[in-house]
A and B are shown apart, each in its own frame.
Chain A
Amino acid sequence: MSYYVFTLVFFLFDYFILAMGLNIQYGETGILNFAYIGFVAIGSYVTGALSLPNSVGTGQHYILGLSLPFPVNLLLGGLASMLFAVVVALIALRRLRTDYLAMVLISLSLVLYDICNNYVPLFNGADGLYNVPEPFAGVLHLTTNSFIPFFAVLTGVIALAMWFVMSRITRSPLGRTFRAVRDDSVVAAALGKDVFRLQLRSMLIGSFYAGIGGGLIIQFSGSFNPTAWLPGETFVVFAVLIVGGVGNNVGMLVGALLVETLLIHLPAFLPAIPGHPGLIEYLDAVVIGVVLIAMLWFRPQGAVPERLRKAVSFGVRDDAVGDRPLVVGAATPVVAPSAVATAGLRIEEQE
């Protein structure tokens, strides 16, 4: 029983991390990253390959193979994902916006998928990586049964730390400038903001989260292959984002709970419908689609909507309002309108 529960806990926190990464890119900066699952895959492959020994004699083919300990391999997995973000940004981000950018990104994701799936020397092709060592299993004498709760809790701790870091970023002036780029990149540029560099920064932060989330998956399950990151998987993370509430980090946890844990992984543990084996898994996709449509229809802001940062959060007291003008039109401009009036301006209705 604990195996099931802690598997759900692991995926809850792992998708919380993944959703936070996509949220900073899409929810905060407006980059429609349809290649997101590619960044997750790179983090996963690199984390796994770095923790595996040299491939000679393992029956697998892969690069790296440095037997690096956890969490060094995980951090490098995150950095590898960031490196991919730099490549993607140079190809796509500098010149493209919105839907054109999304199309190029999804194409890059497909190219990456085909390379990893077919070029065996890279990450063992369609078989993917397996027998990846379980972190701390030797040191803490963990069995397979005790490893799962241990790693689920560890993932929870990592997720909360990453949530703290992400909250600092999104609540900072940098987060505000990201949202300015999201709302109108032309205006942001007209205010002196280097939109490309800001988007690149957002891509790098989000990719690091994707890489870490991917790395945790391979460390948890011990294997990773192309069936785990079909390009459509990107839309599962988008579903987490939309259901949870775009632009709200807490919403990402709620979205991960509702979509990833309850709709995707929980049904996998349900007993099969007699005479229809595998039907529940197929119904998953239908249910997610229906939930997504329902959310977009009835509550497009998501379960936990983006919060406005009001003046009081900057330390501005409400009682300072007293003697301020109430509405536009009530203010008395300092000097000039009277000067205009004395200059004899004839006010005429605008066409």
Chain B
Amino acid sequence: MQSIAEEAALRCEGITKAFQGVHAVNGAAFEVPRDKITALIGPNGAGKTTVVNILSGSMTCDSGREFLGEAEVTNWPSHRIARMGLMRTFQLSRELGGLTVLENLLVAPARQPGESLLNVFFRPRLVKRQEREDVERALSVLDTYGLYQLRDNRASELSGGQKKLLEISRAVMASPKILLLDEPMAGVNPALVERICGYIMDLKRDGVTVLMIEHNLNVVETICDHVIVLAEGRTLATGRLSELRENVEVVRAYLGEVIDASSAS
């Protein structure tokens, strides 16, 4: 049987990060199992977004180590981590506002021949061929995510929910191996929550490892295989949500006591 370490797509050890003396992350350590959906939960201020920022390279850590599979990627810049197959979305949607919805997706594929000046002028056929393939794929992704009709809209004109979908579809367009989703359901209407859950399960089926920060425990319980609880910058517990409900520390720090209606009255 393989050990958890061998199966982990993403692993971090003793991650710390302080902002002017305030420890946002204080020794977080966990493993994200490959091809599974993992939830990162915890109270506000637990350091979840900071951890995602560090794991994706948007921020450096003060100490600790990060591994993608077997490769150590501690404090690598964002673009190098992304090229290893780790993509992310943001808590507040960050669309490329001046570009169309279609262009937002077309930016995503890695190592495009058309991003080289030499190819633009001396190998235009190669650029055109790749561009055609990318456009076809982008339209197909937009179709899947229900954004096809909005393909020519300026991304800044989309609604909040549409921007969430755009972020996920843009990350999908980059063919990620690992996807970090920072509160994908925040501010999203219930019907769309259901759809986003579906998309995430599709991604898992397609072999993408997902780590998502999520506060909606129904979502966590339904689609997540594994849960990591973060509190005060530390990993408090890991396991299935049903197991964690029995953990006194987790209940106290995040889940809260179940209020018995009869005793309350």
Contacts and interface: CB of A to CB of B under 8 A. Distances in A.
B222 A177 contact: no
A190 B58 contact: yes
A177 B107 contact: yes
B194 interface: yes
A272 B223 CA distance: 79
Contacts of A351: 215
Given A334-B144, A345-B219, A348-B216, A314 B131 contact: yes
Nearest to B190: A347
Contacts of B150: 327-328
Nearest to B219: A345
A201 interface: yes
B118 to A, nearest CB: 10
Contact of A347 (B78, B131, B147, B194): B194
B195 A189 contact: no
Interface string B103-130: 1001110101111110011000001000
Contacts of B106: 173, 176
A177 B152 CA distance: 17
B194 A349 contact: no
Interface stretch (B11-19, B79-87, B245-253): B79-87
A192 B218 contact: no
Main secondary structure of the interface of B (DSSP, over half): helix
Contact of A182 (B56, B98, B135, B195): B98
B149 A340 contact: no
B34 interface: no
A344 B132 CA distance: 41
A112 interface: no
A276 interface: no
Main secondary structure of the interface of A (DSSP, over half): loop
B82 A192 contact: yes
Contacts of B117: 169, 174, 201, 205
Given A310-B152, A329-B191, A179 B135 contact: no
A327 B147 CA distance: 7
A270 interface: no
A64 B159 CA distance: 59
Interface residues of A, number: 61
Interface stretch (A6-14, A67-75, A279-287, A318-326): A318-326
Given A325-B149, A340-B223, A180 B107 contact: yes
The number of chain B residues touching the other chain, given as a range, is 35 or more
Nearest to B192: A329
Contact of A340 (B97, B107, B222): B222
B63 interface: no
Nearest to B131: A173
Contact of A192 (B79, B90, B113, B205): B79
Contact of A176 (B79, B87, B103): B103
B79 A179 contact: no
A337 B198 contact: yes
A291 interface: no
A168 interface: yes
Contacts of A190: 56-58, 78-79, 82, 87-88
Given A329-B191, A331-B145, A192 B83 contact: yes
B256 interface: no
A247 B98 CA distance: 10
Contacts of B148: 321, 324-325
B94 A187 contact: yes
A339 B201 CA distance: 9
B10 to A, nearest CB: 15
Given A188-B107, A315-B132, A308 B100 contact: yes
A172 interface: yes
Interface string A81-96: 0000000000000000
Contacts of B236: none
B78 A183 contact: no
Contacts of B98: 179, 182-183, 247, 306
Contacts of B161: 328
A189 B193 contact: no
A195 interface: yes
Nearest to A310: B152
A282 B9 CA distance: 66
A191 B86 CA distance: 9
Contacts of B127: 172-173
Contacts of A140: none
Given A188-B96, A324-B149, 12 more contacts: A172-B114, A173-B120, A174-B120, A184-B94, A189-B78, A190-B82, A190-B87, A192-B110, A308-B154, A316-B139, A336-B202, A340-B222
5 contacts: A192-B174, A329-B195, A333-B199, A340-B198, A350-B187
